Amino acid sequence: MDKELMKAMAHRAGLDKALAEFPDDVAAAAAQAASVMAKIRTPSDPRAEPWPAMRAGDGL
C-alpha cells in the first residue's frame, strides 16, 4: 500500500497516536489488510447472500 494512502487511512481510522508512536506496526497492519483480499475468490453469484442471513424475530 502506498505510504501516503496508508497514512490517510490510518488518520481516517483515528490511529494518529499509533502512527506517531508505532509507525512500523501501523504499516505492517496496513500491508496485511492490503494483501489478504487478493487471496479470496470473488463469490460466483453476485446475488448470493452473505452468511449469516438476517432473520426476523429474536433469532434465538
- Best CA proximity match to 30, nearest among 43, 22, 49, 47: 22
Q: Does 9 bind other proteins (CB under 8 A)?
A: yes
43 near other proteins (CB under 8 A): yes
Q: d(Cα 15, Cα 52) in Å, to the nearest integer? A: 30
Please work out, in degrees rounded to the nearest 5, the angle formed at the alpha carbon of residue 38 by the alpha carbons of 6 and 23: 25
Using CB under 8 A as the binding criterion, the count of chain residues that bind other proteins stands at 33
Residues that bind other proteins (CB under 8 A): 1, 6, 9-10, 13-15, 17-18, 21-22, 25-26, 28-30, 32-34, 36-37, 39-44, 48-51, 59-60
